[in-house]
A and B are shown apart, each in its own frame.
Chain A
């Protein structure tokens, strides 16, 4: 099992450019999440998908959109990148129901200049 995978690992964008971060899991998990991690701020939830076909806003959704493409894949889109979106982005998944352990992907380091 690959677990949770993310692409790309690193990305540099100019202000105003758009991009999509990809996430996939092969553990048949129901719930998937996108977080951003900034120094001293912990992990802040951007969007989550409790199950296939549903998405909901988290704590810091402004400037982002998501798509739960199928049970395996959950993508995060930045339509018009801003320097404030410079961060490390983690995707995570959880089985839910009987287990709430979150499995994280390796992260994407995004810099917006």
Chain B
């Protein structure tokens, strides 16, 4: 089955700095890579995703890059703000239409200091 490694487990930055979280996956057939944000005591929510036919995707201060050859993908947050403090999870899976089974990384706790 799929195996997803996520690093670092904790990331501490100053407000305004950039933050980068990296994930590697093992199954070369995986084709969908979402990122979820989970604030303390809340449910995970999708913040950005990328499919394997795209190398990069941006949404305001958030971007995701995918390197299919190396089997890794990364989340980039620029101009971090205190409200970006949360746990971020990456996931990888094959989206085959009828069945979608994601494998999640263990999460990165991002702390943004004002």
Residues of A within 8 A of B (CB): 31, 40-45, 48, 50-51, 58-59, 90, 94, 96-97, 100-102, 104-107
Contacts and interface: CB of A to CB of B under 8 A. Distances in A.
Given A42-B105, A101-B34, A96 B43 contact: no
Interface stretch (B13-21, B56-64, B74-82, B95-103): B95-103
A102 B34 contact: yes
A104 B44 contact: yes
Q: How large is the interface on B (under 10, 10 to 19, 20 to 34, 35 or more residues)?
A: 20 to 34
Nearest to B101: A48
B100 A40 contact: no
A51 B97 CA distance: 11
Contacts of B104: 42-44
B9 interface: yes
A94 B34 CA distance: 13
Contact of B98 (A40, A51, A101, A104): A51
B71 to A, nearest CB: 18
Q: Helix, strand, loop or mixed for chain A's interface?
A: loop
18 contacts: A31-B99, A40-B107, A41-B106, A42-B105, A42-B107, A45-B102, A50-B98, A50-B99, A59-B1, A90-B43, A90-B44, A100-B34, A100-B49, A101-B46, A101-B49, A102-B34, A102-B102, A104-B44
Interface string B39-71: 000111110010000000000000000000000
Contacts of A51: 98
Interface of B: 1, 6, 9, 32, 34, 36, 42-46, 49, 89, 93, 95, 97-107
A42 B38 CA distance: 11
Contacts of B105: 42
Contacts of A41: 106
Contacts of A102: 34, 36, 44, 46, 102
